[in-house]
Structure 1
């Protein structure tokens, strides 16, 4: 499986944050084997090591971006706090309460309405950087995805702040539409996922913490399971050329029944993985305002536009045209 990488523009955000807080970056980069100037992607594991180095230096696992420092060890305590919960909703509400106590600001509230779950971030004072909000999502959403053993697909993400120079990368990072200069900072996903039960125990947590935060840094994949391997394979192939399940199993040298069973243990199916990727690609394409829907349907591997229309309505509750108009209106407002 291809090694998980962190884009250089995410490193740019990190280094800019350290500069704002008066932290010398070069010794920390050297400590984890990184050059003083980053020009290409770096392994997620190496960025995770940098995260730990910064936390030790600042005694703050939130890079100084909160109203109060998130003292070293808080992340582990957060994971322990949600381990005994009954559902994802229970875990999410407990995680948000924990971070409210630790950070003070920004703090999150879970709003559930019209089939959507929205984590809305609040600030008592001035708005914070996009990097601060993204770090909050990495912690909250990433940990909860690990807890239930699968990635919870994101519908869209809004930021109150203006787009940073690396704004385009944010859309790629979340795998969903991202809007800046919005009335609220929020991350939105389907409310049905709130019913998922946690599947992790103390033993799994020990292993998770040994590899954190590298294991939640890249688009919230859970662990390094088969569903992540399949997503990486599909990402490298045009959707119209995606293989059948049987062909995929042969290429991965796993018996089809065994692959199906192992995916089910991760809370996934081959169809759900393909639908997740197609939905993200479709929403991404429709937000630019110029994509031809018929061509998009063909690019995504649908035999005819009507099949794409039906699938998109199932994914979002809207037609492609209505989704595009609604996104353009909210962006203009």
Structure 2
């Protein structure tokens, strides 16, 4: 057995300065990208199942020349799009790597079974029972000790998953979903893998921060026991939103934001082209009253208008770094019918008018 330890590094949740925010959006760094290993593994799965793999890459705006190039990273949005396509075309959420078919919608149905449970413990018990019913009796097991809980995955046919794609996705799916359920990133104390350290092991400190053990008899994740008693904070509405973001959500940075604030931000961003949603519409989409929504946002130290302003501000900043977009059009694209009102709002957000802000950042224009 090989044991490897990684120091856990958590990113700060502090807001960036406006100039840093602009730089972050323009610089195509590693944030939002994934190892080439996953791209190549998905490509090979598609080919092995007689899919037109190169056509799928083109549809996802991925250069086929990137296949098999470990040094080249791929945008997580494009990778998740490719994974979704392969799942859908094969009609199998395991892409044939489990040895037993997982019909499309299985993961979401597990969500429907668990999202209404009062605590994480009960939600996990329901989710485990669901998967053990449709796969094998011991596909997932939960072992609760004095101070540590271990969720174990017993793959029915590990030999089919020779690049460990299904193994990794399964561990990520359970960890990310559990964290999302309680709106808190669950720290991993130990992760066990039933294979040797893979070539892309450098990616594991990002996906699975904590202590790693390889060449084990099973797959498992362990975390502090007290998280089991945490209340489930999600709803049927937020579940729908979460599942629409999968499998992208699985590749997101370990310390994700699972707050109601983040959920509302996702909804507003998705609707910004059509005009921002009202608080009543957002509350309805999340299956709660506007009063409940306002109370929960207050508990998180914010309010609906603040979230709306941040979404508008960030979108405006991004558009202002694009030379060809007229300021009057930008006003419309961020939900203002009056350009003068947009100018006043933008000055309140950043301290500068849109025109002056664009001039100040002319060297960063796309």
Partner of 2:65: 37
Match of 1:108 among 123, 126, 140: 140
Measured after TM superposition, the shift of residue 56 of structure 1 is 1.2
Taking a change above 3 Å as real, the CA distance of residues 57 and 105 of structure 1, as seen in their structure-2 partners, is farther
**Does the CA-based 8 Å contact 1:10-1:166 persist in structure 2?**
no
Q: Which has the higher Rg, Structure 1 or Structure 2?
A: 2
After TM superposition, the score normalised by the length of structure 1 is 0.62
Q: Distance in 2 between matches of 1:58 and 1:262?
A: 42
Does 1:203 pair with 2:237? yes
Size of the aligned set, in residue pairs, is 235
Does 1:149 pair with 2:149? no
**Does the CA-based 8 Å contact 1:175-1:219 persist in structure 2?**
no
Taking a change above 3 Å as real, the CA distance of residues 185 and 216 of structure 1, as seen in their structure-2 partners, is closer
Q: Distance in 2 between matches of 1:263 and 1:221?
A: 19
Match of 2:85 among 30, 33, 53: 53
Measured after TM superposition, the shift of residue 57 of structure 1 is 0.9
Partner of 1:163: 197
Measured after TM superposition, the shift of residue 37 of structure 1 is 2.9
**Does the CA-based 8 Å contact 1:108-1:119 persist in structure 2?**
yes
Partner of 1:242: none
**Does the CA-based 8 Å contact 2:188-2:221 persist in structure 1?**
yes
Does 1:11 pair with 2:49? no
Measured after TM superposition, the shift of residue 58 of structure 1 is 0.5
After TM superposition, the score normalised by the length of structure 2 is 0.57
Q: Distance in 1 between matches of 2:83 and 2:257?
A: 18
Q: Distance in 1 between matches of 2:302 and 2:190?
A: 26
Does 1:26 pair with 2:64? no
Q: Distance in 1 between matches of 2:302 and 2:227?
A: 16
Matched residue SS, 1:37 = helix
Measured after TM superposition, the shift of residue 23 of structure 1 is 4.1
Structure 1 residue runs without a partner (length 5+)? 229-258, 266-333
Q: Distance in 1 between matches of 2:79 and 2:37?
A: 13
Partner of 1:64: 96
RMSD: 3.1
Match of 1:186 among 220, 226, 233: 220
**Does the CA-based 8 Å contact 1:162-1:181 persist in structure 2?**
yes
**Does the CA-based 8 Å contact 1:68-1:105 persist in structure 2?**
no
**Does the CA-based 8 Å contact 1:157-1:185 persist in structure 2?**
yes
Measured after TM superposition, the shift of residue 185 of structure 1 is 1.9
Residues 166-210 of structure 1, C-alpha deviations (whole Å, 9 max, x = no match): 233223321222221123321111111111111111221222223
**Does the CA-based 8 Å contact 1:55-1:62 persist in structure 2?**
yes
Q: Distance in 1 between matches of 2:208 and 2:137?
A: 22
Taking a change above 3 Å as real, the CA distance of residues 260 and 9 of structure 1, as seen in their structure-2 partners, is farther
Taking a change above 3 Å as real, the CA distance of residues 181 and 262 of structure 1, as seen in their structure-2 partners, is same
Taking a change above 3 Å as real, the CA distance of residues 179 and 15 of structure 1, as seen in their structure-2 partners, is farther
Match of 1:262 among 300, 317, 327: 300
Taking a change above 3 Å as real, the CA distance of residues 164 and 95 of structure 1, as seen in their structure-2 partners, is same
Q: Distance in 2 between matches of 1:7 and 1:263?
A: 36
Taking a change above 3 Å as real, the CA distance of residues 68 and 22 of structure 1, as seen in their structure-2 partners, is same
Matched residue SS, 1:34 = coil
